[in-house]
Amino acid sequence: MKKILSDTVKKEERDRLPPGQHWIQYPLIYDIVDRLPDWDMDRYRFKVWGEVENPLKLKYRELLELPSARLVADFHCVTRWSVKEIEWEGVPTREILELVKPTRKAKFVFVYCLEGYTTNMPLEFFAKEDSLLAYKMFGEVLPKEHGYPLRLVVPQLYAWKSAKYVWGIELRESDKAGYWEERGYHMLGDPWKEQRYWGD
Ligand SMILES: Nc1nc2c(c(=O)[nH]1)N[C@H]1C(S)=C(S)[C@@H](COP(=O)(O)O)O[C@H]1N2
Ligand SMILES: [Mo]
């Protein structure tokens, strides 16, 4: 299986923490709802549509059959904690993009989650080499609270862009604010540039 090391993991220790962050041991669980419903996996479909030549619709077990990779990446939450070297396994976003073939108009991605959460980012960041649609964390099936069945992991942006419980990816010509972005968070969210809130 392909192994991907996120850029920051390769950095010197002193260059590894984005500005205004501190290290903690394990990611704190953040959810916009108090209680997660049980997902009906017989009905679960992962879909990609919008500015693509071949829209995609897959069952969970079909996702598991796609080319996969193991990723080791640091994780940076906008509330100022960071966690070193989380291990994920799943489908590189580049594999998905090869299947769907974005049109020339595709510039942004809008992500839909099972409990109603959404987030957005430029296609360029979704398509980074270390961006992954993860179904495992530290070698185990994703724990429900960390995103089962599928989690987008985008190590180069703040953690609120790493959407849990993902079912849909829409490729778009224009950007559109997701859940936190509508509430003032940055449309890009690069931790190295401290893009916490829109206007930073
Ligand atoms: N679907 C969904 N994804 C989400 C969130 C959420 O509320 N719903 N919270 C985000 C935020 S703000 C952070 S910091 C991380 C936290 O990841 P964890 O709960 O696995 O530690 O998930 C992100 N992804
Ligand atoms: Mo967060």
pLDDT of residue 14 exceeding 90? no
pLDDT digits (tens, 9 = 90+) for 85-117: 999 999 999 999 999 999 999 999 999 999 999
**CATH at residue 175:** 3.90.420.10
Confirm whether 117 is domain-assigned. yes
Determine the Cα–Cα distance for residues 197 and 200; give it in Å rounded to an integer.
Answer: 6
What integer pLDDT is reported at residue 11 of this predicted model?
79
Contact assessment for residue 84 and residue 74, using Cβ atoms and an 8 Å cutoff: yes
pLDDT of residue 9 exceeding 80? no
Location of structure tokens 């959407």: 163
What integer pLDDT is reported at residue 2 of this predicted model?
86
Cβ(30) – ligand 1 distance below 6 Å: yes
pLDDT band at 1 (very low <50, low <70, confident <90, very high): confident
Determine the Cα–Cα distance for residues 14 and 125; give it in Å rounded to an integer.
Answer: 25
Determine the Cα–Cα distance for residues 188 and 199; give it in Å rounded to an integer.
Answer: 11
Write the CB contacts of 7 (distance below 8 Å, at least 6 apart in sequence): 130, 155, 156
Percent of the chain with pLDDT over 70: 100
CA of 37 to the centre of ligand 1 (A): 16
Confirm whether 112 is domain-assigned. yes
Confirm whether 141 is domain-assigned. yes
pLDDT band at 196 (very low <50, low <70, confident <90, very high): very high
Ligand 1, closest atom to CA 146? 20
> Which ligand is closest in space to the CA of residue 36?
1
Rounded to 10 degrees, what is the CA torsion of 183, 164, 97, 101? -60
Confirm whether 82 is domain-assigned. yes
Determine the Cα–Cα distance for residues 24 and 84; give it in Å rounded to an integer.
Answer: 8
Q: 144 by DSSP, 3-state: which? A: helix
pLDDT digits (tens, 9 = 90+) for 62-77: 999 999 999 999 999 9
pLDDT of residue 33 exceeding 80? yes
- Domain containing 98 equals 2-25+40-193
10 Å Cβ neighbour count for 61?
9
Cβ(138) – ligand 1 distance below 6 Å: no
Ligand 1, closest atom to CA 29? 19
Confirm whether 200 is domain-assigned. no
How high is the mean pLDDT of the chain? 96
What integer pLDDT is reported at residue 37 of this predicted model?
94
pLDDT of residue 13 exceeding 90? no
Confirm whether 199 is domain-assigned. no
- Number of compact structural domains in the chain: 1
Ligand 1, closest atom to CA 151? 3
| Mean of pLDDT values over 118-140 | 98
pLDDT of residue 18 exceeding 90? yes
SS3 of the chain: helix, strand, coil, percent, to 5? 20, 35, 50
Confirm whether 32 is domain-assigned. no
pLDDT band at 5 (very low <50, low <70, confident <90, very high): confident
Cβ(18) – ligand 1 distance below 6 Å: no
pTM value? 0.97
Confirm whether 30 is domain-assigned. no
CA of 159 to the centre of ligand 1 (A): 7
CA of 118 to the centre of ligand 2 (A): 13
**Lowest mean pLDDT across 6-10, 124-128, 181-185:** 6-10
Cβ(185) – ligand 1 distance below 6 Å: no
pLDDT of residue 10 exceeding 90? no
CA of 71 to the centre of ligand 1 (A): 18
pLDDT of residue 7 exceeding 80? no
Torsion sign, CA atoms 147, 150, 155, 160: negative
10 Å Cβ neighbour count for 22?
8
